[in-house]
Amino acid sequence: MDILLDNKRLSGTIDAISSKSYAQRAIFAAILARRKSNIGLDTLSEDIESAISCAKALGCKINYKDKTLTIDSSAEFKNNIVVDLGESGTTLRFLLGLLPVLNIKAKIIRRGSLIKRTNDLLFNLLKSAGVKIREENENIYIEGFLGQGNYSLRGDISSQFISSLLLSLAYHDKKSLVKLETKLQSKSYVDMTIDVMEKFSASVEEKENKYIVSGPYRPTDYKVEKDWSNSLFFIGAGVEVRGLNFNSKQADMKAMDFIKKLGYENISNCGVKIKKQREADEYRILDAKDMPDTVPILSVLSAKEKGFTKIVNVERLKYKESDRIKSSLDLLNRLGVKAVYKDDSIEFEGRGSFTGAEINTYNDHRIAMSAIIASSFSEDKIKVFGTECIDKSYANFLDDFKRLGGSYSVI
């Protein structure tokens, strides 16, 4: 869907949506718990529904009612299954670990940008353990068994590979060791995985460059906490967002430290509402290493303030829903900001406001939402092409945007 946005400021209060990252982890833990678990989940998204589709394909009984997702995995798992994952990279990587641990043969169907996203590191590890994997166009075919044991892999490509192994290997009663060959990037996402695993009674022992895990998982009642990454879009627009956990393991919460560099402080007693208190720092650095998903929206927020911004450790952004280096640069430049990429960094000088523009989302939900929020700081109307990608993580985003004072028309 293509939309034309008016340049109107947002205001009001909104409840944060459920964290899709926590929800996906909880769904996989519930599958492995082998009985009935109840997951408190206020909102769904395409990524969450992709994880639910895995549970259904395996034969779990699923019910979603009154903001509670019930997963009953007590029946014998189905074999020789087919699962369509859409474009959910996290779900794919978690499933690649789960299937061989359960010794289940499967055909996995990928869509869109997910077909091109790299999984070689996990493929090679599984193949070395005797699991058969082959790719054929959008399909992945997998069969074989991954037992308890000692495994090692790099930690600087994707934390999802490590999370996949930890989640899955803990299904075995006996201990398994996962050793990191390099320093772990985006450690907070692995910490989130461990947090969920322990809530479902799995044992996780973290030592230097290694994790020791074992089961069994046990069914539980689990409440998914609210999502910091998606909340940042409305926080940045000046809306009060409620329900967030200030002790969260979500690294995206650290975006608030960067927002302070822009001269804003939280003035809410029961949520997050930022207010300008001083001029922005003239020179500011954003480290994308542990919170890559925040780069598009924080780029927009920083670009509307005077001063120089350097975003470092962005190389891994190439492997997101889009090449997020390219798409973020294009977003900024179309808004009238002269942004460049050099030496693993994005650099630009803020301009105070934005020009009218036509924005390509590159089928990336975070680029789309960032462009929509940018319209509230624009001097003229902004067109955004392909906003349907927002459903991946925040299905009601445009409804919430409109309720908070935003205005757009479909073109």
Q: Beta strand 382-385 with 339-342: parallel, antiparallel or unpaired?
A: unpaired
Model confidence over 73-105: pLDDT tens digits?
999 999 999 999 999 999 999 999 999 999 999
The contacts of residue 326 (CB under 8 Å, 6+ apart) are 318, 362
For residue 210, pLDDT over 90 is answered with yes
Q: Active-site residue among 293, 364, 391, 400? A: 293
* 264 three-class SS: strand
Would you place residue 66 in the very low, low, confident or very high pLDDT band (cuts 50, 70, 90)?
A: very high
Q: 187-199 and 20-33 helices cross at what angle (nearest 10)?
A: 40
Q: Which pLDDT score is estimated for 156?
A: 82
Residue 156: count of CB within 10 angstroms of its CB: 16
Q: What average pLDDT does range 40-61 have in this prediction?
A: 97
- The encoded tokens of residue 16 equal 């944060």
Q: What angle do CA 161, 294, 285 make, to 5 degrees?
A: 110
Model confidence over 293-306: pLDDT tens digits?
999 999 999 999 99
Model confidence over 141-185: pLDDT tens digits?
999 999 999 999 988 878 899 999 999 999 999 999 999 998 888
The helix (H) or strand (E) run that includes residue 360 is strand 357-360
Cβ contact 350:322 at 8 Å:
no
Sequence ranges of the domains in the chain:
3-16+226-410, 20-223
**DSSP letter string, 194-261:** HHHHHHTT-EEEEETTEEEEE------EEEPPBPHHHHHHHHHTT-EEE---TT---GGGGHHHHHHH
For residue 221, pLDDT over 90 is answered with yes
Rounded-to-integer distance, Cα 146 and Cα 79, Å: 15
Q: Which pLDDT score is estimated for 131?
A: 97
Rounded-to-integer distance, Cα 187 and Cα 160, Å: 10
Q: Which pLDDT score is estimated for 186?
A: 82
* 114 three-class SS: helix
**What is the topology classification, in CATH, of domain 3-16+226-410?**
UDP-n-acetylglucosamine1-carboxyvinyl-transferase; Chain (3.65.10)
- CATH number of this structure's domain 20-223: 3.65.10.10
Would you place residue 118 in the very low, low, confident or very high pLDDT band (cuts 50, 70, 90)?
A: confident
Q: What angle do CA 330, 333, 339 make, to 5 degrees?
A: 95
* 348 three-class SS: strand
257 catalytic? Reply is: no
Q: Which pLDDT score is estimated for 321?
A: 80
- Give the count of alpha carbons within 13 A of 189, CB side only: 23
Q: Do domains 3-16+226-410 and 20-223 have the same CATH topology?
A: yes
Taking Cα atoms as reference points, which of 204, 173, 174 lies closest to residue 190? Answer: 204
In this prediction the pTM is 0.93
Would you place residue 318 in the very low, low, confident or very high pLDDT band (cuts 50, 70, 90)?
A: confident
Rounded-to-integer distance, Cα 133 and Cα 142, Å: 5
Model confidence over 131-145: pLDDT tens digits?
999 999 999 999 999
Q: What is the DSSP letter of 109?
A: E
Task: For the sheet with 68-72, list strands across it.
Answer: 61-65, 68-72, 36-40, 221-223
